[in-house]
């Protein structure tokens, strides 16, 4: 039996990058997958078709802004009509607006906190009652190693990711008695469109800090998400797992 057979997973920000790799990994392991993102283009529609054909699972995409509380509520209402039982929520959507604090605008601070941190509250709150009714659920939040160690030029992003870690540990304590697990993944430097924008000197600097001497792949992160989503992790909750090639922050 596949690790996620008969399970259904919601993955936010899954049109590309790490979220997309998680969607594919979950489908490969038997899960129905719900992809959400700001916009769903033809490329994502093709990806959905491919998942259904290749892995014989159900897949569907929904476009909405996870930083908008009401949009998350509306999405959940629609979702539960299409998929009556949801087992896994991966809060993956995230953005960067890097700058030194002296130059960081209020708008860039607010935007990063809203998209990265408030979205985790929005989506978890929208699905929590459903998980409680089912007496089962695995929530996986995408944090970052910079949420643990900080990073110059990323005060907004680091604060949002540190907030996610505090949220994860609190929710694990609140709903553990209902058999709902909540964990975070803290990726290091992963090769995705997000990190492709970084200048060469910053990329080199990251590589030098990584004992495994390579950037991570979205698949490296998806493997850990698979573990946390599955019953292999049935006694793992309130944890942060670093996926960072051994980097020390
Ligand atoms: P990405 O930029 O390739 O993908 C992020 C996705 O989130 C995009 O498809 C984007 O459209 C979507 N998104 C952004 N704002 C949204 C919103 N308001 N509503 C719905 N969807 C929205 O990024 P990547 O690299 O795949 O990152 C995924 C997650 O992993 C993020 O939370 C990021 O902070 C985290 N992460 C990434 C690392 C890396 O090195 N790539 C390192 C540590 C953490």
How many Å apart are CA 216 and CA 243, to the nearest integer? 8
State the pLDDT at residue 1: 87
CA angle 214, 195, 122 (to 5 degrees): 120
The answer, yes or no, to whether residue 248 has pLDDT greater than 90, is no
How many Å apart are CA 115 and CA 71, to the nearest integer? 13
State the pLDDT at residue 185: 99
Q: What average pLDDT does the structure give for the chain?
A: 97
Nearest CA to ligand 1 atom 2: 194
State the pLDDT at residue 197: 87
Strands 32-37 and 8-12, by their bridges, are: parallel
Tell how far the Cα of 115 is from the centroid of ligand 1, in angstroms: 10
Q: pLDDT > 70: what percent of the chain? A: 100
How many Å apart are CA 57 and CA 246, to the nearest integer? 35
Nearest CA to ligand 1 atom 23: 194
Tell how far the Cα of 192 is from the centroid of ligand 1, in angstroms: 9
Question: 154 falls in which pLDDT band (50, 70, 90)?
Answer: very high
Hey, which of 12, 17, 216, 225 would you mutate to test ligand 1's pocket, going by the most ligand atoms within 8 Å of its Cβ?
17
Question: Which of 3.30.200.20, 3.40.50.720, 3.40.50.970, 3.40.250.10 is the CATH number of 8-242?
Answer: 3.40.50.720
**Domain locations in the chain as residue ranges:** 8-242
Rg (C-alpha) for the chain, rounded Å, is 17
How many Å apart are CA 224 and CA 226, to the nearest integer? 5
Tell how far the Cα of 94 is from the centroid of ligand 1, in angstroms: 4
Tell how far the Cα of 96 is from the centroid of ligand 1, in angstroms: 8
The answer, yes or no, to whether residue 153 has pLDDT greater than 80, is yes
Mean pLDDT of 86-92: 99
The answer, yes or no, to whether residue 249 has pLDDT greater than 80, is no
Question: What are 192-217's pLDDT values in tens digits?
Answer: 988 988 899 988 888 899 999 999 99
Q: Give the atom of ligand 1 at the shortest distance from the alpha carbon of 14.
A: 9
State the pLDDT at residue 222: 99
Q: pLDDT > 90: what percent of the chain? A: 94
For 202-236, letters b (16+ CB in 10 Å) and e give: eeeeeeeebeeeebbebebbbebbbbbbbeebeee
Mean pLDDT of 42-50: 98
Catalytic positions are 157
Q: Give the atom of ligand 1 at the shortest distance from the alpha carbon of 93.
A: 7
Question: What are 90-140's pLDDT values in tens digits?
Answer: 999 999 999 999 999 999 999 999 999 999 999 999 999 999 999 999 999
């Amino acid at each position: 039996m596949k690790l996620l057979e008969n399970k259904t997973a919601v993955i936010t920000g899954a049109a590309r990058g790490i979220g997309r790799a998680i969607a594919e990994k979950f489908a490969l392991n038997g899960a129905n997958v719900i992809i959400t993102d700001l916009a769903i283009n033809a490329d994502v529609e093709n990806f959905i078709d491919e998942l259904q054909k290749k892995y014989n699972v159900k897949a569907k995409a929904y476009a909405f802004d996870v930083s908008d509380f009401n949009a998350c509520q509306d999405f959940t209402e629609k979702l539960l009509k299409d998929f009556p039982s949801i087992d896994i929520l991966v809060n993956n959507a995230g953005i960067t607006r890097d700058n030194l604090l002296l130059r960081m605008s209020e708008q860039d601070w607010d935007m990063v906190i809203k998209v990265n941190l408030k979205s985790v509250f929005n989506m978890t709150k929208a699905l929590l009652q459903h998980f409680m009714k089912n007496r089962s659920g695995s929530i996986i939040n995408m944090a970052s190693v910079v949420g643990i160690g900080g990073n110059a030029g990323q005060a907004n992003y680091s604060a949002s990711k540190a907030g996610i870690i505090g949220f994860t540990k609190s929710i694990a304590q609140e709903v553990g008695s209902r058999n709902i697990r909540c964990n975070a993944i803290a990726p290091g430097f992963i090769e995705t469109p997000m990190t492709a924008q970084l200048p060469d000197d910053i990329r080199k600097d990251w590589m030098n800090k990584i004992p495994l001497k390579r950037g991570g792949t979205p698949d490296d992160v998806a493997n850990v998400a698979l573990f946390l989503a599955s019953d292999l992790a049935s006694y793992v909750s309130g944890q942060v797992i670093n996926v960072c090639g051994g980097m020390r922050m």
